[in-house]
């Protein structure tokens, strides 16, 4: 057998192979497969004038020692037959179809209940809440009203996962109105009155406060996943002889104040955290002016922000809506709002996640350029990683981030150890009247079934029973500035790799 030493380049690597000059193209491909793990039927071997065919006689190629061949094709085994018989969508039951297509269903408006429907749709995007509700064994009809509300919420979410049709939240609404009569108020013209989404959000969280966290019977869902801690310093503005006071209190929602100069959310939140108030001074023996500064000492995994758009106007004795345009970020760095000590603990993880994010963007651009060429799926070249290599690289990156997490934050299940968040849900209000108008919700569409999920580019829009998909660009129209839908409550989730 006459052979010559040649080189084969695949996926940025070069392999030394002995080429049988009396053999066929298929025999050469088998040798390439041994070196690169690319099956012969996936290989595209570039030769002068085209591609190497299986029956090509190597002797006719006049290959010289040291010649380099370029090979395209994805390494690995060929796809295996499905373990279960293929089931078509039209043959599925509603529950199977809901899961297979990752469907989101709407909620029926039962008479000015859009405030409730929009709130429930956003809360349903919190996986730890769904897990805790699934594990909850309480029953509807229990003597404890909060327990009954939690049980009805569990049953409602379960019903929503088993159908492709809009669900009427009748039992949940009935329990809520019995537990909190304000939501049973009637309008002047008859029927139930419109209510405030922020108020029902707070009341639902109150009921959930005793819900055990899934897999952590000694811990509660609300304190673990949606509650932060705030340190408060108050100092008298009228005398330096009085020592500042310090206290800590929990919070479940940040307030974004909106003034005539507020243009973006961060400024509104900081304004709410730095205020002046009047209270009695023991030092002065009278009411005095105090400076109050709040900073966060614990960040929860799920952070909600309330845009304070409704306020009471004393001059007209009426609740009024602030229409001003206020921008909000798709990704939030909450280190601006935290104590110096927490900022120090968050910094290493935050910096690493940001750096990895930039690296992933560059790798994604390279993969997009390469895969956009006329090659079969999975083929890469020019330094781009294969799917398997990208998955392995991301696993290494997660390990790198995990190694940087502060020990105290690591032991605090349900906190955010980086201070970085991504927007996942929005409740909006449409209309100029504070006691009327219409609420809707918007939830980011995500595909968690793939090892390399694509970037989120679409959002679910929930308008009671009507559900549609809108592009991410539509979210920017929710900043406000008119009578159309404006952001009222935002839900951010701790950013994960």
Catalytic residues: 114, 438
Write the DSSP string, 256-316.
Answer: E---TT--BHHHHHHHHHEEEEEEEETTTTEEEEEEEEEEEEE-BSEEEEEE--EEEETTT
Of 100, 92, 125, the C-alpha closest to 460 is 125
Q: 102 near 450, Cβ under 8 Å?
A: no
Closest to 140 (Cα-Cα) out of 175, 116, 110, 169: 175
445: nearest Cα among 463, 471, 465: 471
- What angle is formed at CA 410 by the lines to CA 448 and CA 255, rounded to 5 degrees? 75
Phi/psi of residue 277, nearest 5 degrees:
-145, 165
Burial class (CB in 10 A: 0-12, 13-18, 19+), 487: buried
Measuring CA to CA, which residue among 118, 130, 128 is closest to residue 157? Answer: 130
Token digits for 204? Answer: 């639902």
Tally of CB atoms within 10 A around 475? 19
Which are the contacts of 422, defined by CB distance < 8 A and separation ≥ 6?
A: 330, 331, 332, 492, 493, 495
What's the sign of the alpha-carbon dihedral 95, 155, 201, 350? Answer: negative
Give, rounded to a whole angstrom, the gap between the first and last alpha carbons of the chain.
53
Judge contact between 83 and 22, C-beta under 8 A: no
The span from the CA of 288 to the CA of 410, in Å, is 42
Beta strand 3-10 with 13-20 is antiparallel
Nearest CA to 173 among 105, 104, 119, 113? 113
């Amino acid at each position: 057998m006459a052979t010559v030493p040649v080189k084969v380049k695949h996926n940025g690597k070069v392999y030394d192979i002995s080429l049988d000059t009396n053999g066929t193209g298929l025999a050469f491909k088998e040798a390439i497969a041994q070196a690169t793990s690319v099956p012969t039927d996936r290989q595209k071997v570039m030769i002068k004038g085209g591609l190497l065919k299986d029956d090509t006689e190597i002797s006719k190629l006049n290959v010289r020692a040291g010649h380099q061949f370029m090979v395209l094709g994805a390494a690995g085994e060929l796809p295996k037959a499905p373990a279960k018989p293929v089931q078509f969508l039209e043959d599925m039951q509603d529950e199977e179809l809901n899961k297979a297509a990752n469907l989101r269903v709407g909620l029926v408006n039962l008479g000015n209940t859009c405030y409730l429907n929009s709130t429930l749709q956003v809360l349903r995007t919190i996986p730890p809440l769904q897990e805790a509700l699934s594990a909850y064994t309480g029953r509807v009809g229990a003597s404890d009203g909060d327990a009954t509300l939690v049980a009805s919420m569990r049953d409602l979410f379960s019903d929503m996962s088993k159908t492709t049709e809009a669900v009427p939240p009748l039992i949940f609404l009935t329990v809520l109105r019995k537990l909190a009569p304000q939501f049973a108020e009637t309008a002047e013209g008859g029927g139930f009155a419109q209510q405030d989404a922020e108020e029902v959000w707070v009341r639902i969280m109150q009921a959930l406060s005793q819900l055990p966290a899934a897999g952590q019977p000694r811990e509660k869902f609300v304190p673990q996943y949606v509650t932060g801690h705030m340190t408060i310093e108050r100092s008298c503005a009228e005398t330096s002889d009085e020592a500042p006071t310090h206290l800590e209190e929990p919070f479940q929602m940040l307030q974004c104040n909106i003034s005539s100069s507020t243009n973006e959310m961060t400024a509104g939140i900081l304004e709410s955290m730095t205020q002046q108030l009047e209270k009695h001074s023991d030092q002065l023996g009278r009411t005095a002016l105090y400076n109050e500064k709040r900073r966060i000492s614990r960040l929860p995994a799920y952070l909600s922000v309330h845009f304070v758009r409704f306020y009471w106007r004393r001059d007209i004795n009426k609740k009024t809506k602030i229409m001003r345009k206020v921008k909000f970020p798709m990704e939030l760095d909450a280190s601006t709002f935290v104590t110096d000590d927490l900022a120090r603990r968050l910094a290493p993880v935050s910096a690493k996640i940001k750096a990895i994010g930039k690296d992933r963007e560059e790798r994604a651009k390279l993969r997009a350029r390469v895969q956009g060429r006329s090659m079969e799926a999975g083929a890469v070249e020019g330094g781009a990683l294969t799917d398997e290599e990208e998955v392995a690289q991301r696993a290494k990156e997660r390990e790198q981030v995990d190694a940087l997490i502060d020990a105290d934050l690591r032991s605090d299940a349900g906190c955010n150890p980086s201070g970085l968040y991504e927007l996942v849900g929005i409740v909006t209000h449409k209309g100029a009247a504070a006691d009327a108008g219409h609420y809707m919700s918007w939830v980011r569409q995500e595909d968690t079934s793939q090892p390399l999920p694509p970037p989120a580019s679409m959002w679910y829009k929930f308008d009671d029973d009507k559900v549609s998909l809108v592009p991410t660009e539509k979210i920017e129209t929710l900043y406000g500035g008119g009578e159309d839908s404006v952001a009222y409550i935002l839900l951010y989730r701790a950013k994960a790799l």
